[in-house]
């Protein structure tokens, strides 16, 4: 996971230094053979394990033609699954955005007791199996759970309903933004914030005019990753969902149901849509990395 958190900085670093010289310089250049062997190995892997499966999804989805494809997607249940996936993402991502910025701010700019504990807890959703995460919510809010009876008395449904799915999604996507921002904000230090406050800026002005612009690209990057996970989450959501068709099925769950019912075309159609969303996310991510590297090159000090 740390790999994800540092990708952006690696991109910035790559833009700052110039690894190009390594290739240009005859003293450090490897034999072409080495280069081509390494390249071939990685490309073969890439094609076998990433491109082919992804292509299969789209080929299978469109095997029986556009009409079947559109029908599968516009099917009521499939459509409501898409809707639910988007709802979960739309609620979970902004909440984690607020949390992530607050947590990163607290960790990077303040000293307090239990700081390391907080950092550790932020990572919890990464280390806990999603199934366990889902189960926790069932145990808390389910009819036999801790506050389940109270909830059912008041006619509030959380598990096997939309709120449960949103909660599970929030849980699994919890660390993405905070994890992205913490190293970034720690690296930037608090000099600029201190300068702003000395110049008379209020706390809000300092955040809005100084901190936020500095973490802008890292923040968007975190949001994109968080969103990708929110839409793709299967395990935790599967446990709390109850698989009620047209009501509590998200896209990944809907795909599984369709597949288990041997409706391969429909399953692949929805899967292709999910894959497409992922691809869009990937393009966005690449664009952001490129922009961040550009920004790093033009505005980074030293």
Residues that bind another protein (CB under 8 A): 191-192, 194-202, 205, 209-210, 213-214, 295, 298-302
Determine contact, residues 159/242, Cβ cutoff 8 Å. Answer: yes
Q: Which is nearer to another protein, 11 or 273 (CB)?
A: 11
Q: Minimum distance between the CB of residue 30 and another protein, rounded to whole angstroms?
A: 33
- The distance of closest approach from Cβ of residue 199 to another protein in the complex, given in angstroms and rounded to an integer, is 4
Residue among 65 and 213 whose Cβ is closer to another protein? 213
What is d(CA 300, CA 214) in angstroms, rounded to the nearest whole number? 10
Q: State the Cα–Cα distance between residues 32 and 38, nearest whole angstrom.
A: 10
Task: Find tokens 């958190």 and name the residue.
Answer: 5
- Least separation in angstroms between CB 190 and another protein: 9
Q: Are 241 and 26 in contact (CB under 8 A)?
A: no
Q: State how far the Cα of 127 lies from the Cα of 75, in Å rounded to an integer.
A: 36
HSE of 58, CA atoms in CB hemisphere, 13 A:
8
The residue (of 194 and 261) whose beta carbon lies closer to another protein is 194
Q: Judged by CB, which is closer to another protein: 94, or 213?
A: 213
Question: b/e map of 131-164 (b: 16 or more CB within 10 Å)?
Answer: eebbbbbbebbbeebeebeebeeeeeebbbbbbb
User: Residue 178 Cβ, how far from another protein at the closest point, in Å?
Assistant: 22
| Nearer to another protein among residue 45 and residue 209 (C-beta) | 209
Q: SS3 helix, strand, coil % of the chain, rounded to 5?
A: 80, 0, 20
Helix axes of 175-188 and 2-16: crossing angle, nearest 10 degrees: 40
What number of CA atoms fall less than 13 Å from residue 13's CA on the CB side? 7
Give the nearest distance from C-beta 16 to another protein in angstroms: 11
Nearer to another protein, 196 or 223 (CB): 196
Please state the separation of Cα 210 from the chain's center in Å.
26
The nearer residue to another protein, 53 or 213, going by C-beta atoms, is: 213
Least distance from another protein to the Cβ atom of residue 302, Å? 8
Nearest approach, Cβ of 68 to another protein (angstroms)? 51
The CB-of-101 to another protein minimum distance in angstroms stands at 17
DSSP string, 264-281: HHHHHHHHHHHHHHHHHH
H or E element that contains 6: helix 2-16
Nearer to another protein, 28 or 301 (CB): 301
């Amino acid at each position: 996971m740390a790999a994800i958190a540092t990708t952006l900085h690696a991109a910035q670093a790559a833009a700052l230094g110039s690894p190009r010289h390594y290739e240009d310089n005859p003293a450090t250049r490897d034999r072409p053979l080495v280069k081509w062997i390494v390249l071939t190995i990685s490309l073969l892997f890439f094609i076998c394990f990433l491109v082919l499966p992804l292509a299969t999804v789209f080929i299978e989805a469109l095997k029986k033609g556009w009409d079947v494809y559109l029908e599968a997607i516009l099917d009521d249940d499939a459509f409501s699954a898409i809707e639910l996936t988007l709802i979960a993402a739309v609620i979970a991502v902004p909440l984690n955005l607020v949390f992530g910025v607050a947590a990163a701010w607290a960790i990077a700019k303040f000293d307090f007791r239990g700081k390391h504990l907080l950092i550790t807890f932020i990572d919890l959703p990464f280390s806990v199996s999603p199934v366990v995460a889902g189960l926790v919510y069932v145990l808390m809010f389910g009819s036999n759970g801790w506050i389940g009876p109270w909830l059912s008395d008041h006619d509030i449904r959380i598990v096997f309903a939309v709120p449960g799915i949103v909660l599970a999604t929030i849980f699994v996507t919890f660390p993405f933004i905070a994890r992205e921002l913490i190293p970034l904000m720690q690296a930037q230090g608090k000099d600029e914030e201190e300068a702003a406050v000395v110049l008379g800026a209020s706390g809000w002005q300092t955040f809005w005019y100084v901190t936020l612009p500095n973490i802008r690209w890292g923040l968007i990057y975190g949001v994109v990753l968080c969103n990708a996970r929110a839409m793709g989450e299967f395990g935790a959501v599967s446990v709390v969902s109850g698989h009620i068709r047209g009501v509590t099925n998200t896209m990944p769950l809907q795909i599984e149901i369709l597949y288990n019912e041997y409706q391969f075309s429909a399953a692949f159609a929805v899967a292709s849509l999910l894959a497409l969303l992922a691809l869009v996310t990937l393009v966005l991510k690449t664009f952001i990395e490129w922009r961040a590297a550009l920004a790093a090159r033009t505005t980074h000090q030293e």
